[in-house]
Chain A
Amino acid sequence: MKIIVTVKQVPDTTGKVSVKPDGTLDRASMETVTNPDDLNAVEAALQLKDQYGAKVITVTMGPMQAESMLRELYAMGVDECVLVSGREFGGSDTYATSQIIAAAIDTIGLDEDDIILAGRQAIDGDTAQVGPQIAEKLHLPQVSYAAEITKEDDGLLIKRMLEDGYMMIKVKTPCLITCVKELNEPRYMSVQGIEDCFDKEIRILSYEDLKDHPLIDKTTIGLQGSPTNIYKSFTPPQKSAGRMLKGNAQETAAELAKCLAEKHLI
């Protein structure tokens, strides 16, 4: 059994985020992290490996700098890290990204009992689209928002979260599952893993390696091949500083009630 996990290195939007005057993100000034939901997917893969034995392969698309993240994944216990990298892939939206990653997964190869795991969504774009779009491109069944994954003889039993409850869904392999954070608590890197991770080889898949795959075509990848484009980007208006109410608890509460009543808010 192979478990392929899609991962992404993202700017840490929970920390300091700076925006350039032209309304684009100043990525250089930001820390990068492994997308949090992707770590839940990696953990789920490692747990299945611990229990049943499996080869865990992560696939990421990005610049060569993503190597630092991949070393950390090796240190967690991942068996092979694949980096899909090339100028031709830059500027891809979710449609184009899924074409490329689907081609990479197909190049790695999928067998009957293989599983693809993805995080629910990435914290930079929050789209949750690439997972389902990879599944479509590979003609695989998908189950998203998985909070429990149980392996059964001929497939997986998934607890799929809904806003108002959940569904229990059985799905045959190969399939694609997207994972929510309730699924597990990602493990730390092991000491031995950290020692060994720098000797591990990272498999690079470049445009040259993928260009003959049927999914790869100049009209379906990169900025040129992306159906969506950014028309404008901007920052929300700065909220002007509010009013600090002065006095003790009783006085400030009375003043606030008066202000809200004047504005007909209460």
Chain B
Amino acid sequence: MTFNSMNLDEFHDVWVFAEQRQGELMPAVLELISEGRKLADELHCELHAVLPGHDVDSLAVTLGGYGADKVLIYDHELLKNYRTETYTEVIAQAVETYKPEILLFVASNIGRDLAPRCAARLHTGLCADCTHLDVDLGGYIDFLRKESSVDVDNTSFESKMFDVERNLKMTRPAFGGHLMATIVCPRFRPAMATVRPGVMKLREYSAEKAAAVQVEKPAFRLDESDVQTDIIEIVKSTRKQVDLIGADVIVSVGQGIARDVEKGLALAAELADELGGVLGATRAVIDNGWLSADHQVGQTGKTVRPKIYIALGISGAIQHKSGMQDSECIIAVNKAENAPIFEIADYGIVGDLFDVAPKLIEEFRKAKQ
């Protein structure tokens, strides 16, 4: 049967692209498997992981344990390392053969390279960098009630164009977080999305689900003629990257440390250690070379939602706020009483971070005893 992305009725099941690098799953894949499980249950269909790679069979169990019913393994030497062209070829063949209704990717540098290429080839819609997904309309309305300024009781959710109860509703920030948009893909399948790492809740691992996972190795066509790029080398960063997205506590520094950068960073690091957290920073700190880029929080850095976010000497430019304003509890320490950061802080302390941070370390230590 020929593939036509407009024949909506032929498409079923939820798929997650199981991104692996050097044989290891990207951690956010399991977040997507967890979220995909929820969507598949709402649609009363199966959840499949599609796993291209070489010698990656052992990953299937983990994917099953987090909720995948089936893992489709596309094993080939040419798929050992990621290449846009070979992975696009295989994903496109897989979709054309099995016709999934929904296809999710981690919004990593690889997912965001691969997904648009696949969507363009398959002639379907793709929503970038989503932070929330819904099939169930009631669940979506509840989400808006909590997370938006929409007056949901006086808003119509009907559509003449498509079935609002069944279509995937993909929500993402736009314009630096000033606006949220919910996107739909009503006329084509699969509905595709890349999803920000760190936003979807991980399910509990189930040994029973892991044991029950089905593995399939579909036939596919791939040869040297599909390769258009040479990978000369793959270099892993030797320095451990800071895990801002996975952190429960982030202590961030801004221009306020300029007076004594070394001491400011040391205080922030000690405070972070005290709370079991990690060190974040504003763009200015990165641009000045005081910390490496992986510490950057903000529109051009990472979007974070820790339980506790402590902003030391940060004025609160939009570029920074948009990356951290959804943190559960924001604490701001700044000398300037009128700093915009105080507008979004749960607790504000007007004072010099060099005086306040040592006291915070001391008091937090006491409080924990």
Interface residues of A (CB under 8 A from B): 11, 13-15, 17, 19, 23-25, 93-95, 98, 123-133, 135-137, 141-145, 157, 160-172, 181-182, 226-239, 241-245, 248-250, 252-254, 256-261, 263, 265-266
Measured CB to CB, the closest approach of chain B to A266, in angstroms, equals 6
**Chain B residue contacts of A94, Cβ below 8 A:** 116, 126, 128
A166 touches B235 (CB 8 A): yes
**Chain B residue contacts of A245, Cβ below 8 A:** 347-349
Contact of B345 with A by CB under 8 A: yes
**Chain B residue contacts of A163, Cβ below 8 A:** 108-109, 241
Out of B84, B108, B155, B359, name the residue touching A253 (CB < 8 Å): B359
Of the A-B pairs whose beta carbons lie under 8 Å apart in the complex, a sample of 25, sorted by A's number, is A14-B318, A14-B319, A24-B179, A25-B178, A123-B299, A125-B128, A129-B116, A133-B116, A133-B117, A133-B119, A165-B234, A165-B236, A169-B232, A171-B228, A227-B124, A227-B126, A229-B183, A230-B181, A231-B183, A234-B144, A236-B148, A236-B180, A249-B349, A257-B360, A260-B364
| Bound Cα distance A182, B287 (Å) | 11
Q: A229-B183, A233-B182, A235-B148 are in contact. Are A256 and B331 (CB under 8 A)?
A: yes
B129 touches A126 (CB 8 A): yes
A141 touches B85 (CB 8 A): yes
Q: A232-B181, A235-B149 are in contact. Are A243 and B348 (CB under 8 A)?
A: yes
| Bound Cα distance A229, B162 (Å) | 11
**Chain B residue contacts of A258, Cβ below 8 A:** 367
| Bound Cα distance A258, B348 (Å) | 14
| Bound Cα distance A266, B307 (Å) | 10
B232 touches A162 (CB 8 A): no
Measured CB to CB, the closest approach of chain A to B360, in angstroms, equals 5
The 6 closest A-B pairs by CB, nearest first: A227-B125, A253-B359, A228-B125, A136-B120, A127-B128, A13-B176
Contact of B43 with A by CB under 8 A: no
Measured CB to CB, the closest approach of chain A to B358, in angstroms, equals 8
B347 touches A167 (CB 8 A): no
Q: B328-369 interface mask toward A, CB cutoff 8 Å, 1 = contact, 0 = none?
A: 111100000000001111111111100110111011101110
A265 touches B343 (CB 8 A): no
B241 touches A229 (CB 8 A): no
Measured CB to CB, the closest approach of chain A to B236, in angstroms, equals 4
Q: Which residue of A lies closest to B164 (CB)?
A: A231
**Chain A residue contacts of B330, Cβ below 8 A:** 242
Q: A133-B117, A141-B229, A257-B364 are in contact. Are A25 and B179 (CB under 8 A)?
A: yes
B325 touches A144 (CB 8 A): no
| Bound Cα distance A93, B293 (Å) | 31
Q: A132-B84, A250-B359 are in contact. Are A25 and B175 (CB under 8 A)?
A: yes
Measured CB to CB, the closest approach of chain B to A183, in angstroms, equals 13
Q: Which residues of B in the span 177-219 have a Cβ within 8 Å of any Cβ on A?
A: 177-188
Q: Which residue of A lies closest to B92 (CB)?
A: A136
Measured CB to CB, the closest approach of chain A to B264, in angstroms, equals 15
| Bound Cα distance A181, B184 (Å) | 31
A232 touches B144 (CB 8 A): yes
B342 touches A242 (CB 8 A): yes
| Bound Cα distance A232, B326 (Å) | 20
Measured CB to CB, the closest approach of chain B to A66, in angstroms, equals 18
B184 touches A135 (CB 8 A): no
Out of B184, B300, B348, name the residue touching A231 (CB < 8 Å): B184
A-B contact count, CB below 8 Å?
267
Looking at chain B's contact residues, the main secondary structure is: mixed
- Give the most central of A17, A229, A249, A265: most B CB within 10 Å: A249
B184 touches A229 (CB 8 A): yes
| Bound Cα distance A234, B119 (Å) | 26
A124 touches B175 (CB 8 A): yes
**Chain A residue contacts of B84, Cβ below 8 A:** 132, 141-144
Q: A19-B178, A132-B84, A172-B228 are in contact. Are A252 and B356 (CB under 8 A)?
A: yes
Q: Which residue of B lies closest to A134 (CB)?
A: B120
**Chain B residue contacts of A17, Cβ below 8 A:** 175-176, 178, 318
Q: Which residue of A lies closest to B343 (CB)?
A: A241
Q: A252-B349, A253-B360, A256-B360 are in contact. Are A239 and B325 (CB under 8 A)?
A: yes
**Chain A residue contacts of B109, Cβ below 8 A:** 144-145, 160-163
B117 touches A167 (CB 8 A): no
B127 touches A228 (CB 8 A): yes
| Bound Cα distance A129, B117 (Å) | 8
B345 touches A242 (CB 8 A): yes
Since A25-B175, A228-B125 are in contact, a sample of 5 more A-B pairs with Cβ atoms closer than 8 Å, ordered by chain A residue number, is A142-B117, A170-B229, A226-B125, A256-B347, A256-B360
**Chain B residue contacts of A238, Cβ below 8 A:** 149
**Chain A residue contacts of B360, Cβ below 8 A:** 253, 256-257
| Bound Cα distance A23, B300 (Å) | 23
**Chain B residue contacts of A229, Cβ below 8 A:** 161, 183-186
Q: A227-B187, A227-B188 are in contact. Are A13 and B329 (CB under 8 A)?
A: no
